[in-house]
Amino acid sequence: MVGVLFLSNPRDEIQIKEIKSGLENRGPNYSILTYDEVRKDSMLEKLVKEKSLRVIVLFMGYGSLDPEIGGLLRSSFKKIPSLVAILKTASDPIQIPIFLQALQYVDFRREPDALEHLNGAISERIGWDWS
């Protein structure tokens, strides 16, 4: 099973749980991990090395990026397909870090079918050969 890593501000935890549950109820063939789950015991490095982590989704909502998450993104977004999901709690206009501005976006503030769009974007990236 391939992994999808969700990165988010802890203040967005409720929305992230709802999105994770919504994706899991659609029956995807991927496992969704959160940053807190992979940061323990160097699990993240192992997943990257084994190429079982296939997609990173950065959720932009409350506040700014945690510096640790920002560092992780800078070091891995060229190796692992990534996309940005803008949560309903995000400010308008949202400040996306420059190095992420070229990525595909899913906007939960404006798209009525954002969950389906996110599911499709993740599935599409899992199918890519990034070796």
At the topology level, CATH places domain 2-126 in Rossmann fold (3.40.50)
Residue (of 15, 12, 29) closest to 63 by Cα position: 12
Q: Is residue 131's pLDDT more than 50? A: no
Tell me what pLDDT residue 30 has.
67
Residue (of 23, 11, 28) closest to 115 by Cα position: 23
Non-local (6+) Cβ contacts of 96 within 8 A are: 60, 84
What digits encode the pLDDT tens for the residues 77-114?
Answer: 677 888 889 999 888 788 777 777 788 889 999 999 99
Spans of all domains in the chain: 2-126
Give the burial class of 97: count Cβ atoms within 10 A of its Cβ; 0-12 exposed, 13-18 middle, 19 or more buried.
Answer: middle
Would the pTM of this model clear 0.85, i.e. be above it? no
